[in-house]
Structure 1
Amino acid sequence: MKSPKGFRGKYFSLAAILALSATITLANETKSYVDTKKSAEAQEEFSESEELTPPSEELDVVVISKKIKVKEVDAPFASEIYTKKQIKKSRAKDIYEFLNTQSSVVTIPSYGNIFTQSIDMRGYGIGDGYQNVVVSVNGRRLNNIDMTSQLLSSIPLESIEQIEIIKGSGSVEYGDGANAGAINIITKGYEGAAVKAYTGSNGLQFASIGLGIKKEKFSISGYIDDYSHNGYKTIANEGTKDDSWSRNKEIKGTFTPIENLTLNLGKSFSKMQIKYPNALTLAQYNQDPYFTPIPKVEWWGTEQDYKIQSYYSNMLNYGLNYQLNQNILFDFQGYDENKDSTYESVGGSFPSKDISHYDNKAYNTKINFKNKDFKIVLGLDSFEGNRDSYGNLVTKNNLGYYATLKYNINNQNSFSIGSRYEKIKYEHNDGINILKDDIKLNAFDIGYNYTIDKFSSFFISINKSFQSPDIDRFFTYNFATSHYEFNGFIEPVKVKTLNTGYNYIGYPNKFKIATFYSDIEDEIYYTGSVNTNFDKTRKYGLEIYDKYNILYNLFITLNYSYVNTNIKENSINPAVEGNNIPGVSKHNIKFALGYNPTHRINLLLSHVYKSKAYSMSDIDGSFGKMEAYNSTDFSATYKYKKYEFFAKVNNLFDKKNALFADDGTTLGVYPVNYERNFMIGMSAKF
């Protein structure tokens, strides 16, 4: 086994000290804990620490990503809810790492890009899965109009209050792209001051500060964070490494001029840059994942050593929330985002720089009606997306109307129903020709929840969803005419999903199990030469979540998902009928063991396993299944009053992992998480 890069003995020493402290304290844990809590001197220290048993609000979580608020146990759909405390205990360095190690969602750096990673949920694949799940932050969609994944790196993990994963539902509320479901991220402003900093292997550096004031009539808060990494490996012969950096900042506030009316305004900025390595061959990867990639021959015949992507985003959000009376609420939110993405090809005879400018505007309006037995939401969503690249202006505009109702028949039975109509308009202007088209799509959701008691329930739902083609798939370049034209091989995706499940939201055990079956028409994929559709595909699976508190300070969690995918009909290439969707692991296991020897010390051991899968875009399975993904993490936290000191080891057993991709003729390998890494840091609140 190779020696760990960036290793420093002090990291292991800290872990050893914490482990020894845990062992010494274990023998008298319960008595010492109770006696300490009773003492007046220790009471002050204890109040500054987290309780070792979960507070009642963690057992009564409210799902707010759906437009109708509903308790977790009463939800007529499958869900995963992660609170701020759970996110903090994971010691994940960013939201991608948290989702990949703690939830059923699969994330992996896209061709080496750690900032806009590939996302998969319920078997849509690491190649196209991100377009089949809607990701939102406080209601703002992060999905793009082209084949660019959602930019989650602009969201500091420290600002997140709750992450909600809605599976097999959300198409009525979120519309276009919610085939697998929705991931909603809820952030809250800072109150007081919060700082965090850490350092680690390969020149990892991070620092952030958040400040905020909250009064009866107004609040204002903001943050700044700074991340940099020297890179994992040499990616070009002159010694260039795959280094990266990012800077995020935000300021936002609320104002309540009169009772029941709240105005909000916010501004955020993000800048980041990363160097992309070329792919390795499978033989090179098996020999050494640190192998320096050879120059890549592009389609115009020149060799490129590597690429640099720079990203800049400037986002304004504004809105109001007005409570007309105890039964009626009106809410309006607007978003205006400008961003630039630059790809620079380095090396070869013809280095190039491609710049794309995006201008996105969105408006979300809804009215909530409620009484004792029912809740109704009427809403309108508008999204106007523009991309200017190579002198070509391309737009995709979505306008959706929806209505949804939840009715409590009695104390045990509740029923929900909703419907959505959405119109999507396209326009492509290359300065000579203007292409226009529109698509009309609809969705519905019907759900039923039977509450067995205050802790447990059974649910069943039927959902219809859709995904319209993005602008990169809908338009194609004709080399014969040197102009863009409509892609005659592409259709929107239509999905029908049946969900069933059982929830037990209690203590010491929290248990969820769900099954699903999806019939898909015209699932979009790339053949290696053209974007087109599978005529019919299907997916079914099983999802299990269990958190069991063995003792008040010792818990275990299991997040397991089984997904089976199948290409049922494909008129373009019938030979692939019966094959699996590439880039989908049948078995995904996330396991964690947490232990608090005292209220000051928190230890967490976690493991991620993804079974073998066909490489991305390998529809015919010509390269066979690639290796499984394995990674084990360990973290330790020590708390003293307002301060926390933590250390973490990623990929403890030094396993090598990679993203495998089929480009139509060859197999490319992009190593990810292929070495042991260390991190040590501190945080504080004032």
Structure 2
Amino acid sequence: MIKSTVSLLALMGALMLEGQQLKDREIEEVVISASTFEQKAKEVPIPIKIIEKKQIQQSGSVRLSDILAEQTGLVIIPNHGAGVQVQGMTGEYSLILINGQPLVGRTAGTLDLSRITVHNIKRIEIIKGPSSALYGSDALAGVINIITETPLRDASDLNVRYGSYTTVDIGGGINIHRKKISLNLSANRYSSAGYKLNPDADQYGQTVNPFENYTYSTNINFKPNSHWELGLYTRYYYENLGGKMLIQGGKVDGYSKNQDYNIIPQATWRPNDKVTSRLGLYMSASNNDSQYKFVNSGQLVDETFFREHYNKVESFTDIRWNKRWKSTLGMGIVQQQIEASRYNNKKTSHQLYALGQLAYTPMKSWKILAGFRYDDNSIFGPQFNPKLATEIGVSKFLNLQASIGRGFKAPDFRQLYLNFTNSLIGYSVLGTQEVALQLEKMQKQGLIAQILVSPSKIGVLEPESSWSYNVGANMTPIRGTTLKVNAFRNDIQNLIQTLPIARKNNGQNVFSYQNFAKVFTQGVETELWVKLSRSFTLVGGYQYLEAKDKDIQNRIKAGEVFGINDHGNVIRLKSRDYFGIQGRSKHSFNAKLFYEDKKGWFFNIRGLYRGQYGFADKDGNGIINNKSELAPSYFILNTVLGKKIATHYHLSIGSDNLLNFKNIQYNPEYAGRILWINFKIIY
């Protein structure tokens, strides 16, 4: 791996000498996440957040999770990797795309965003809520679409960053552009020695173990004539994680190896300036192998494997009927397959879907977007989801937006077919399709002391669904100032949660899954962008969030819930005592100041605040109702200082978590202050 990476980066460095430099041209901001084809951002009536390449580069961040953490309404949650919380909904409800196609390889519902390098990202598009008709399951909270580089000219770059804890990021790319064909090659290596928040711990007590990962990608586009365009995007990722840890006082050593790939060939046909049709294939796979043993005895602690394959064929046709009407029709088929040590055998599913979207502009200042999506899955059956959005230009300085949409999340293979027993602690987790058979086996083996819920009452899992509402305004009160305000509400039904269904003789439980909760998230987001001067730009955002379980609210109103207050007294809870669902902060904000001058100097300082949030139920009533059950708030400050040297060279230094925030109990994802230096060559 290292040799191949070094060889490719050396080739990139050599090609820099042949690079052709062109003057940058201003290109009007476009998006593709609201439809299947590029269109001007100002034509889209749904709220879309766009993070451009320049902002990504100047932040000094190297992982996607670092960039998203600084965006309004997004919170990075460490749970089986760095997942993203959107409008109060966890990472399993957000769809992560690369060039419009989903990434696979989730662990317990979380797709680890720290495994995605930002090196060859052109822009990131964020849609909050299911306001677009294009996406199916897993998009209840929204969509994050990563758009990679498509070469417009010959160019090459090489980037090397070194930071605290022997953290090294090396990336490079080559762009080749000819009259009919363009090619982008990219490679990245990222590694760290890990860190420990407990100063007395040895290598087996590290908070994060050493790791290294590699990402390779290609993007090829061929235009034989004005009517046809052929494209091929490929990506390969490999990660090797160290596995030293302490379990029940014993030293454990092992490894975890992860691989995934994406292959996306597609053909686009434009017979005239009104019709665009695209046929695409998507092939993706994710593999994980892990093994852990006690160092002294050699006893096997855990050995697992996971294989996931996701294949899709889809076709879209976009027709611009006239200046006012535009339509999109699409259909596709998905085949998914999973094989894992925690499933009894190979599991498969297939899905057919069709969608339609209609954009209507009654007048220049009024836009309407309506759509639907129909899915028919071999496991959970049919789903129909409508969407509607509109935007009205009240004046030159004020635009109003509103949208409503229904989304769904299908039960995953884990919730349906999992058959897992923790050999050290002794608990078991069974998917709903395995409950009856596996529980009967445990009873025959004499492992069950008590049945808490009859398997016949578990039933068939229904997809989780939500209605999402967004109402907002975009204001430009004075030149160089933009203010965005968005109020949102998400009502989620059939939320899938774990529940104990049996108690074992060892005192541990057997768990399964069931639809029973109704929850809502609601709040307000504001974002401010101010061009202070030719060199200074100020950006800031704030979110107020409420996330609560409706059933718990009703029980509290009925006087059925008791708890311990902040003074240690048992009380009957009132509505004001219920803080909300765990892991959600009522208040969060970010602020960023960017500076750039004509001499090539650039500087920025970026702060993010997360308010206190529910962490653990300590009084046993199942809810968060006193201050001792909250994790404290925190503030992170990041900064960068850099200089462009002789056009082709960029040198920058920076610090992530400049104020050295640490909290081993609540926030082990923060290693304290990280200092780094970065050198980049661009031709």
TM bracket (short chain): 0.7 to 0.9
The aligned counterpart of 2:635 is 630
Distance in 2, matches of 1:507 and 1:335, equals 44
Change (3 A) 1:258 1:315: same
State which of 659, 663, 666 in structure 2 corresponds to 1:653.
659
Q: Deviations over 1:200-244 (max 9, x none)?
A: 111111111111211111112211111110011289756574111
Is the 1:201–1:679 Cα contact (8 Å) retained in structure 2? yes
Q: Which residue of 1 aligns with 2:63?
A: 94
Give the superposition deviation at 1:248: 0.8
Q: How does 1:249-398 map to 2 (within 5 A)?
A: 249-275=216-242, 294-296=246-248, 305=252, 308-347=255-294, 349-370=299-320, 371-390=322-341, 392-398=345-351
How many Å apart are 1:460 and its aligned residue?
A: 1.1
What is residue 67 of structure 1 aligned with on the other side? 35
* Counterpart in the other structure of 2:581: 581
Alignment of 1:119 with 2:81, yes or no, is: no
TM-score, scaled to structure 2: 0.79
State the Cα distance separating 1:500 from its structure 2 match.
Answer: 0.6
Aligned to 1:104: 73
After TM superposition, list the pairs within 5 Å mapping 1:158-173 onto structure 2: 158-173=119-134
The yes-or-no answer on 1:516 pairing with 2:488 is yes
Contact 1:171 1:181 in 2 (8 A): no
Residues 171 and 465 of structure 1 are in contact (CA less than 8 Å); yes or no, is this contact kept in structure 2?
no
- Give distance in 2, aligned partners of 1:237 and 1:527: 37
1:145, 1:471 within 8 Å by CA — same for their partners in 2?
A: no
1: distance between equivalents of 2:60 and 2:307?
35
Do the aligned partners of 1:601 and 1:639 also contact (CA within 8 Å) in 2? yes
The gaps in structure 1 that reach 5 residues or longer are 1-46, 279-293, 298-302, 427-437, 661-668
- Deviation of 1:337 after TM superposition, in Å, equals 1.8
Measure how far apart 1:266 and its partner are.
3.1
What is the aligned-residue RMSD (CA, Å)?
3.0
Aligned to 1:44: none
TM-score when normalising by structure 1 = 0.79
Instruction: Give matches, 1:475-494, under 5 Å.
Output: 475=417, 476=431, 477-478=434-435, 479-482=438-441, 488=459, 490-494=461-465
Pairing partner for 1:414 from 342, 356, 367:
367
| 2:679 paired with 1:676 | no
- 1:163-202 alignment runs, 5 A limit: 163-190=124-151, 191-202=154-165
Please name the residue that 1:620 is paired with: 623
Which residue of structure 2 lines up, in the alignment, with residue 43 of structure 1? none
Q: CA deviation at 1:524?
A: 2.5
Deviation at 1:315, TM superposition (A): 2.5
- Gaps in structure 2 of 5+ consecutive residues: 1-20, 418-430, 443-454, 501-510, 562-574
1:244 corresponds in structure 2 to 211
Residue 389 of structure 2 corresponds to residue 447 of structure 1: yes
Task: Describe the shift of the 1:237–1:195 C-alpha distance in structure 2 as closer, same or farther (beyond 3 A).
Answer: closer
Aligned to 1:6: none
Aligned-pair CA distance for 1:164: 1.0
Q: Which position in structure 1 is the counterpart of 2:512?
A: 530
Q: Partner of 1:80 in structure 2?
A: 49
Q: Which runs of 4+ in 1 moved over 4 A?
A: 47-50, 143-146, 234-241, 570-579, 616-619
- Cα separation, partners in 2 of 1:72 and 1:453, compared to 1, 3 Å: farther
> Is the contact between residue 104 and residue 310 of structure 2 (CA under 8 Å) also seen in structure 1?
no
2:68 partner SS? helix
- Cα deviations by residue, 1:462-513 (Å, 9 ceiling, x for unpaired): 1111111111112324443349x99637331121122110113685112211
- The amino acid of 1:420's aligned partner reads R
Query: What is the one-letter code of the residue matched to 1:365?
Result: S
Read off the aligned partner of 1:92 and give its amino acid letter.
S
Query: 1:382–1:170: structure 2 CA closer, same or farther, 3 Å change rule?
Result: farther
Work out the CA distance in 2 between the residues paired with 1:208 and 1:245.
Answer: 13
Counterparts of 2:277 and 2:396 in 1: how far apart (Å)? 31
CA offset digits 1:138-180 (Å, max 9, x no partner): 1111255773422544543121111111112345111112212
Q: Which amino acid aligns with 1:416?
A: L
Q: 1:66 to 1:532 in 2, by over 3 A?
A: same
Within the candidate set 479, 493, 496, 2:467 is matched to: 496
In the TM superposition, 1:30-49 aligns within 5 A as: none
CA contact (8 A) 1:631 1:652 kept: yes
Aligned-partner Cα distance in 1 for 2:640–2:301: 43
RCO comparison, higher one (Cα < 8 Å, 6+): 1
User: Residue 335 of structure 1 aligns to which amino acid in structure 2?
Assistant: Y
Relative distance call for 1:414 and 1:603 in structure 2 (3 A) is same
Q: Secondary structure of 2:629's match?
A: coil
CA distance in 1 between counterparts of 2:544 and 2:518 reads 21
Please state how far the C-alpha of 1:399 moved relative to its aligned partner.
2.4
Report deviation, 1:549. Answer: 1.3
Alpha-carbon distance between aligned partners in 2 of 1:609 and 1:177, rounded to the nearest angstrom: 27
Deviations, residues 616-653 of structure 1 (Å, cap 9, x unaligned): 79952276111223211111111011110011101111
Cα distance in 1, alignment partners of residues 479 and 119 from structure 2: 27
Match of 1:463 in 2: 405
Q: Give the letter for the 1:413 counterpart.
A: W
- The sequence identity of aligned pairs, in percent, is 20
Deviations 1:665-686 (CA, angstroms, capped at 9, x unpaired): xxxx561114111110111211
Q: Does the aligned pair in 1 maintain the 2:639–2:656 contact within 8 Å?
A: yes
Distance in 2 (CA, whole Å) between partners of 1:276 and 1:453 is: 59
Residue number in structure 1 paired with 2:96: 135
d(CA) in 2 for partners of 1:62 and 1:533? 40
* CA distance 1:198–1:469, change in 2 (3 Å): same
Match of 2:543 among 526, 539, 561: 561
Work out whether residues 189 and 220 of structure 1, in 8 Å CA contact, stay in contact via their aligned partners in 2.
yes
